[in-house]
């Protein structure tokens, strides 16, 4: 196997200079005919560590990966290097000023990527078609928190490998998060009878190396061919309601969410809401409540009219509030909770349990409140 690694910066520009010599559409002048010169392309671009010195940006990383796939007709797999530590600190300490790093002024240093930034960068590479991840720490030590992010990614990507490497699908996903400061990039795959949507919020950094974007954004996804049902959020112990082929979710800076939509949500193009009414179903919309104005909704779909009971308990089993205890008609019923107790006082941060009873069926789900 032959592999070559590209410096990432030229790929962020329309004019890529000598890099063109390695690309199939342009390398006749170098090799006498068009040819692929490697079995695997490597790629390195560090939007956290290079932000101040080279004006690097997370959005430019995404654009560079897209350009690389386009210029190789998506026929050559790409492996990417992801910064996992403060890589420039080590360069300054060992080498000082040299021809590769011409300005060792410590003012250009950026902190080690936070665990949230690292997780965002890893999955952004996956969303943009990278087939392998290389950890780049340049002989510096990882923080324990970043090491845990790396270990969790290895566990998750191992489980999701058949999905990520599976074929693309004709099902499309669009969203309203497509502008700077509110950009969520997605990748869609179909595996067996389920659709997976990998979604990453691109988040730039400020002069201190921390996230320059501080507000949560609400993203609306529209999925072609989907009807109504529920979306399971991978590894987050929550689900989101799909209605009319769409659903909403909250993205904090650097957030990554992976959604799994089963055939029960009408992926064959039919709306299965009628089927869902033949049974009792419980859903908690937005079970991660962030900020003072956050609200969650408990949704119960029942095929028969009758008594419904919905209560919120804290993690110690103390009852916080009764959202509903009484009669409801058959169909879909929604019970909002604004994070207050029975006296109207806001509850503190923590894990809360939603106890739901309807039609002889009982279920318990979690809501996490973060101030």
Q: N- to C-terminal Cα distance for the chain?
A: 52
- Return the minimum-mean-pLDDT range out of 174-178, 214-218, 265-269, 276-280: 276-280
Report the pLDDT value the prediction gives residue 266, as an integer from 0 to 100: 53
Share of the chain above pLDDT 90, in %: 31
Between 3 and 203, the more confident residue is 203
Report the pLDDT value the prediction gives residue 155, as an integer from 0 to 100: 95
Give the length of the chain.
Answer: 371
Each residue's pLDDT tens digit, 28-74: 777 777 667 778 888 888 888 877 777 889 999 998 888 888 777 77
Q: Any residues with CB less than 8 A from the CB of 103 and at least 6 apart, and which?
A: 53, 97
Between 12 and 369, the more confident residue is 369
Residue 59: in which H helix or E strand, if any?
helix 58-71
- Residue 100: pLDDT band (50, 70, 90) is very low
Report the pLDDT value the prediction gives residue 229, as an integer from 0 to 100: 79
Residues 154, 118: Cα–Cα separation, whole Å = 13
88: helix, strand or coil:
helix
Nearest CA to 357 among 313, 336, 326, 321? 326
Contact criterion met (CB below 8 Å) for 223 and 190: no
Kindly state the tokens that stand for 199.
């979604």
pTM for the predicted model, two decimal places: 0.67
- Sort strands 281-285 and 296-302 into parallel, antiparallel or unpaired: antiparallel
Kindly state the tokens that stand for 17.
């200079």
Report the pLDDT value the prediction gives residue 18, as an integer from 0 to 100: 64
Average pLDDT, the chain: 80
Q: Domains of the chain by range and CATH?
A: 3-164 (no CATH), 167-274 (2.60.40.1180), 277-371 (2.60.40.1930)
């Amino acid at each position: 196997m032959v592999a070559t690694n590209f410096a990432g910066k030229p790929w962020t520009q329309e004019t890529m200079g000598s890099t063109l010599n390695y690309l199939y559409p342009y390398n006749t002048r170098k090799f006498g005919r068009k040819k692929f010169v490697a079995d695997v392309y490597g790629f390195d671009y560090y939007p956290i560590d290079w932000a101040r010195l080279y004006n690097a940006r997370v959005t430019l990383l995404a654009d560079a990966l897209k350009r690389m796939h386009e210029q190789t007709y998506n026929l050559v797999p790409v492996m990417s290097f992801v910064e996992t530590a403060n890589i420039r600190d080590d360069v300054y300490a060992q080498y000082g000023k040299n021809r590769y790093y011409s300005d060792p002024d410590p003012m250009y240093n950026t902190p080690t990527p936070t665990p949230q930034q690292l997780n965002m960068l890893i999955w952004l590479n996956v969303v943009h078609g990278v087939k392998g991840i290389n950890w780049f720490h340049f002989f510096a030590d990882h923080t324990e928190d970043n090491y845990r992010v790396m270990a969790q990614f290895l566990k998750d990507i191992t489980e999701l490998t058949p999905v990520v490497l599976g074929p693309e699908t004709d099902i499309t996903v669009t969203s309203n998060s497509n502008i700077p400061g509110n950009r969520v990039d997605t990748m869609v795959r179909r595996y067996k009878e389920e659709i997976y949507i990998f979604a990453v919020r691109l988040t730039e950094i400020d002069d201190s190396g921390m996230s320059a974007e501080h507000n949560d954004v609400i993203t609306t996804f529209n999925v072609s061919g989907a009807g109504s049902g529920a979306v399971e959020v991978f590894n987050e112990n929550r689900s989101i309601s799909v209605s009319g082929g769409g659903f909403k979710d909250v993205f904090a800076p650097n957030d990554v969410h992976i959604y799994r939509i089963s055939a029960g949500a009408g992926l064959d193009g039919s709306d299965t809401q009628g089927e869902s009414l033949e049974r009792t179903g419980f859903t908690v919309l937005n079970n991660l409540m962030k900020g003072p104005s956050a609200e969650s909704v408990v949704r119960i779909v029942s095929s028969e009219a009758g008594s419904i009971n919905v209560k919120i308990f804290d993690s110690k089993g103390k009852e916080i509030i009764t959202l509903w205890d009484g009669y409801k008609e058959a169909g879909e019923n929604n019970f909002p909770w604004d994070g207050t107790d029975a006296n109207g006082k806001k509850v503190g941060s923590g894990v809360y349990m939603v106890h739901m009873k309807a039609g002889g069926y009982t279920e318990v789900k979690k809501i996490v409140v973060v101030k």
